[in-house]
Chain A
Amino acid sequence: MKLAHWALGIALFALARIDTAHAYPSFIGHGYTSCVTCHFNPYGNGPLNDYGRALSASTISARPFFVSSAVTDEKLAEASGFLGPLGTLPSWLRLEGNYRGLYLISNLNGNSKSRYITMQLEGSLVLKTMRDRLFLVITGGYVPPPAAYPPSQQVDIPTLISREHYLAFRPSKAWGVYAGFMDPVFGIRVPDHIAYSRSATGLAQNDQSHSLLLNWISKSWQVGAQALAGNLFQNSDLRQKGGSAQVEYLVGKESQIGTSILATTNSYRSRQLGALFTKLGFAGGSSLLGEWGFIREAPKTEDAATGTYLFLQNSAELLRGLYFLTTLEAYKADFDGSIPLRIRATPGIQWFPMQRLEFRFELQVNRAYGDSKSNGDPRVNPDILNLMSQVHVSL
């Protein structure tokens, strides 16, 4: 029964589509082509390693306004650990905390509603040994009960869940084996969980799976293969079992191309995904991310639907720590002509005034093209505008 509660909580929270990831593949613009440089997970997300923290302090984020110019970036990097300038944790232990809140004004041009959402409140524990070759990562977090549920039912929904927990062994820089509960490997793991590339693919912030991941990295290549057992917190008939694979290749100094496939099935449906993607770095910290993919959803009792999506995001560094983002997206759930093409533009600002602090302001314009009424006549509705302000604090 308790497991069922957990599963229900995870599933409902997934429906709320709240962001928790904090991977930034756009930092390829700073010359970092692989997520494993900064994260314990080779595909990003989850806790940062020491190098990632130092990089955040010395390159990604602006210098704090209250710090004297005599304090070098190296000094900032040295104080980037969990305890800050107070000291360092023992080498076998790493801790991290993250809070991310969103103030959302939805339907700005209609009957607008505003609300504040705690998107992420979690802590991570990393235990390392064998010169960091063997490590255990555990991240647990609070999830608010879905706002759509009446308060009487909200109290029954668990609010503490495991985000990820896995054991990793990297006997060499090239090879790594990861076993446990983690995100499926597929496409660019952007933090925008409402991006079609994540929400429509069913790979959003609460879609982790118990799995076994094999990862190989060379100077130019990164290959991953993952066997997915599904989310064992869910009932067995809901678990999405299958596998995924991803190949990335470094073209030039700061550009990467890649492809992913994923296939899963449970008692009610099967899903196949495929994607081509690129991460292009431009001198001076700017970048362009692009992903195009297809989604085939095949319910056991209905006809299969094959759709497609496109994700493009450029990140232009204006000053150190300040980025102008433009995200353009398209999604069509089924090539069938009666399904509308959804297109979306999201310009915004991402600001890291100092390490451990991030602000993000975005205006999202949602549009549907080719929508129809039930009788087949065209339906052209006004755009839906959402204004989103985020704060992210990490320890």
Chain B
Amino acid sequence: MSAVFLQSGDVTLRPVEREDVEFLQELVQHPEVRDTIGRAPLPVNRKQEEEHIEEISSDDDGVYFLIEYQGEKAGITSIHGLEDRYRKAEFGISIHPKLHDQGIGSKSVKMLAEYAFDSLNIHKLRGGYVEGNPASKRIMEKIGMKEEGRERHYKYVDGEWKDTIWMSILEDEWRSE
């Protein structure tokens, strides 16, 4: 298993490995997760998730981390848009529902933002949450993100369309935080 890349207390971020396939397969199609992420709510078998891990390993536009909490696999987080000329990036995060409410998401996003601004020199970090997901909203507000706008009818969940609310923070706002 690869070494720790970022650490904050008992939460660590490390590169995603092929051995994480079973955890990721379970995570992305957990009913509480698949309804909140951008990815389509389709079943994913091990072979498909392995292919996904291969794709992200060669993706120059994004970075992906496996989140561990006290040594246990807890979730995934990523930054996309690194090849953007204006250095505007977007992050995503999913924590396994069995580990919700432990502050893992907040710690992870804080480390991720710091890394994005300080090591990758991005100008703006953006994130979105599907309406009715107060936990994600709180995580983004905690690092100083402001509401940017509402994308209407972003995802179809349980028979109805849901909006996504986009939040962002700019580099000078991050430095003055």
A and B held together in a complex: no
